[in-house]
């Protein structure tokens, strides 16, 4: 049973999507206390709230079974703001109409403010860029509402009934890619009689939670008394999240109550295991065991092509190795040990971990076996409510080295989700693409996120006479093509060829040889980023291996540089031409690589990782 609503808090009703916790964070940044609840919450429990924000979600409000809230929340007399699905729900509930949009909008769009006196857009520029992710739109407004903003493809991009303090916006205010989004949220917060929010030390707050989760462990046991607390067995990957989580748990509980395990899956980056050990040595952390289980992982991934199954197998193998090693080290659950993980909030959201969220992809720390352990109270996840930028702030607060904290994020399944696997060349949908450049639809699919839901669609590659030069028109197509073509969720630029070659597909799953090849390409990208002084200006740079080239057995590489703060949305980074050319030339010199592409897609419509 959930705790009662804090008086004068701003309550976010989570309709699914991927954004409720990000909205809550933005509200906290605006100085107000915020809480998240399911839309099914009784209206009686909301009577003391300062305001209500309705989040986005992947469903259509007019569909049977779509998530609904009590319409009486609109009669409470407190300010209400609907975002995306929430905007549509308000319109639909109050007698307006919501229909499928003629043009879907995913990514950046320009809106024009039509009324700056509405209460949430005062003093803003007449035009600015926002972040859209929707297929439906409000076609007609409810009685009493006025149109306060439009976009090129969405007439009612925002609406207001200022007399009732009820507002709706089609775009996502909470993401950093929406200009003035924080200001709009601030103006909404200013309309409420909210309780103030102040953030104490992340380390202190999370430390208290860790102590509560594991309980107190007496320093000595006498008189037959048994310890009341538990110990933590922590899976460490070397990424920012698990490093910070491991360090926090070590500091809070002491190394005598914590044991770290680094599993070398064969899917780590070049020299990764050694670099991790060197970093922890500098921190004085010695309670870390390293186990080479690469043969075991490759054996279980043999013949596996489906991306979800691949993630499940990697997650299950982590647990199997953990169980075997923990038994060998006498770290059994029945002896009072818990499993620690560096899970952060986007992992939970993308796995469909909230009631109405669509599953974008299953993270290795959210496979079924882990979920059962969570339900049994056997998992400790000190970072589970944080986003990547908050994890980094925490890392710096507890004294971790800058270079370690600001390492690029690396997925738990490692290179396993950056090696695309396919048993046969996929049939390409017969859809005529309206693209004014030479282009080819590629014979593989990748995961995307459109309208807050999961997609599994093709990428299309553009070709240019100056392959390494990313032009503004290429970036425009990266937004417009997925918005107007249902079979596409990514747009690439081929940087190794100036015209479409004849591609040869080679079936492949995850093998040590493919992992080694990708490791070398990834290391080249890492080296060139540092050489160009761009490592800290790029938030993450996945390098992806595709199972086709220009000759039998040949393969291709995709460069995926992005900028983001919280991983829920991301912008593709436009690399300088000379950097693209150096990366492309060096990668193409690797034996087995025929083609190089750069991914121009934002998130949405493409996820950061391809799988």
Q: What is each CA distance from 173 to 32, 132, 263, 343, 567, in whole angstroms?
A: 16, 9, 40, 25, 15
Check 92, 134, 172, 474 and give the catalytic one.
172
154 given a catalytic annotation: no
216: tokens are 């107190």
The answer to whether 232 and 340 have CB atoms below 8 angstroms apart is yes
Number of Cβ within a 10 Å radius of residue 236 = 24
* Separation between Cα atoms, residue 440 and residue 459, nearest integer Å: 9
How remote is the C-alpha of 203 from its chain's centroid?
23
DSSP codes joined into one string, 333-357: GGGTEEEE----HHHHHHTT-STT-
Q: Which helix (H) or strand (E) holds 131?
A: strand 127-140
The answer to whether 99 and 126 have CB atoms below 8 angstroms apart is no
* Separation between Cα atoms, residue 494 and residue 112, nearest integer Å: 35
* Separation between Cα atoms, residue 370 and residue 372, nearest integer Å: 5
Q: Comparing C-alpha atoms, which of 65, 84, 85, 133 is closest to residue 105?
A: 133
84 given a catalytic annotation: yes
563: tokens are 């900028």
Number of Cβ within a 10 Å radius of residue 417 = 24
How remote is the C-alpha of 241 from its chain's centroid?
13
Q: Comparing C-alpha atoms, which of 226, 185, 208 is closest to residue 83?
A: 185
Q: Comparing C-alpha atoms, which of 19, 105, 572, 60 is closest to residue 350?
A: 19
Measured in degrees and rounded to the nearest 5, phi and psi for residue 140 equal -130, 145
Residue the block writes with tokens 């600015």: 128
Check 87, 92, 105, 174 and give the catalytic one.
174
Q: What is the 3-state secondary structure (H, E, C) of 555-590?
A: EEEEECCEECCCCCCEEECCCCHHHHHHHHHHHHCC
How remote is the C-alpha of 39 from its chain's centroid?
23
Check 84, 154, 421, 494 and give the catalytic one.
84
* Separation between Cα atoms, residue 393 and residue 196, nearest integer Å: 22
Strand-pairing partners, residue 51, are: 10
* Separation between Cα atoms, residue 247 and residue 237, nearest integer Å: 13
Q: Where are the alpha helices (DSSP H) in 169-201?
A: 181-190
425 given a catalytic annotation: no
* Separation between Cα atoms, residue 246 and residue 237, nearest integer Å: 10
**426 CB-near residues (< 8 Å, 6+ apart):** 443, 444, 445, 458
Percent composition of the chain: helix, strand, coil (DSSP 3-state, to 5): 30, 25, 45
The 8-class DSSP code of residue 402 comes to: H
Strand, coil or helix: 184 = helix
Rounded to 5°, angle at Cα 562 from 22 and 543: 125
- The count of C-alpha atoms lying within 13 angstroms of the C-alpha of 301, restricted to the half-sphere facing its C-beta, is 33
Q: Which residues are catalytic?
A: 84, 172, 174
């Amino acid at each position: 049973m959930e705790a009662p609503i804090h008086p004068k808090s701003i309550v976010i009703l989570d309709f699914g999507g991927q954004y409720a916790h990000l909205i809550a964070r933005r509200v906290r940044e605006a100085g107000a206390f915020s809480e998240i609840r399911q839309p099914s919450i009784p209206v009686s429990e909301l009577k003391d709230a300062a305001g209500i924000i309705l989040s986005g979600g992947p469903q259509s409000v007019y569909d049977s079974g779509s998530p609904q809230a009590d319409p009486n929340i609109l009669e409470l007399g407190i300010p209400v703001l609907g975002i995306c699905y929430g905007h549509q729900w308000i319109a639909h509930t109050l007698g307006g109409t919501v229909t499928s949009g003629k043009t879907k909008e995913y990514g950046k769009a320009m809106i024009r403010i039509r009324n700056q006196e509405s209460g949430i857009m005062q003093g803003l520029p007449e035009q600015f860029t926002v972040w859209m992710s929707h297929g439906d739109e409000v076609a007609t407004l409810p009685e009493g509402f006025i149109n306060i903003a439009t976009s090129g493809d969405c007439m009612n991009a925002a609406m207001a009934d200022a007399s009732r303090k009820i507002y709706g916006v089609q775009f996502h205010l909470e993401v950093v890619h929406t200009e003035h989004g924080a200001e709009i949220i601030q103006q909404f917060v200013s309309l409420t009689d909210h309780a103030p929010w102040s953030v104490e030390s992340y380390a202190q707050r999370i430390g208290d939670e860790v102590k509560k989760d594991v309980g107190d462990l007496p320093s000595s046991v006498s008189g037959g008394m048994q310890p009341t607390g538990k110990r933590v067995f922590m899976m460490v990957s070397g990424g920012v999240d698990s490093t910070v989580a491991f360090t926090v748990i070590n500091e809070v509980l002491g190394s005598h109550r914590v044991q770290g395990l680094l599993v070398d899956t064969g899917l780590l980056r070049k020299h990764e295991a050694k670099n991790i050990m060197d970093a922890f040595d500098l921190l004085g952390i010695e309670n870390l065991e390293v186990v080479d289980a690469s043969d075991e992982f490759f054996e279980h991934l043999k013949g596996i092509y489906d991306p979800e199954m691949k993630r499940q197998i990697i997650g299950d193998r982590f647990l199997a190795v953990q169980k075997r090693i923990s038994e060998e080290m006498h770290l059994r659950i029945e002896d009072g040990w818990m499993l620690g993980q560096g899970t952060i909030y986007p992992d939970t959201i993308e796995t469909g971990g909230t009631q109405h969220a669509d599953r974008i992809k299953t993270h290795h720390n959210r496979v079924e076996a882990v979920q059962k352990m969570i339900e049994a109270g056997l998992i400790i996840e000190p970072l589970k409510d944080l986003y990547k930028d908050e994890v980094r702030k925490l890392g710096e607060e507890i004294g971790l080295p800058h270079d370690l904290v600001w390492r690029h994020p690396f997925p738990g399944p490692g290179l396993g989700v950056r090696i695309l696997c396919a048993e046969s060349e996929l049939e390409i949908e017969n859809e005529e693409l309206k693209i004014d450049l030479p282009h080819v639809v590629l014979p593989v699919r990748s995961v995307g996120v459109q309208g807050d839901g999961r997609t599994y669609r093709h990428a299309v590659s553009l070709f240019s006479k100056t392959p390494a030069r990313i032009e503004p028109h290429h970036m425009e197509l990266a937004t417009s093509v997925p918005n107007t073509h249902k079979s596409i969720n990514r747009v690439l630029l081929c940087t190794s060829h100036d015209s479409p070659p004849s591609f040869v597909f080679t079936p492949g799953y995850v093998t040590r040889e493919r992992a080694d090849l990708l490791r070398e390409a990834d290391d080249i990208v890492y080296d060139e980023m540092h050489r160009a002084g761009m490592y800290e200006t790029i938030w993450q740079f996945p390098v992806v291996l595709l199972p086709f080239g220009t000759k039998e057995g040949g393969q291709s590489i995709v460069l995926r540089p992005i900028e983001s703060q919280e991983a829920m949305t991301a912008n593709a980074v436009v690399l300088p031409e000379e950097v693209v050319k150096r990366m492309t030339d060096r990668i193409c010199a690797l034996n087995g690589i025929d083609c190089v592409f750069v991914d121009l897609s934002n998130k949405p419509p493409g996820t950061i990782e391809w799988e």
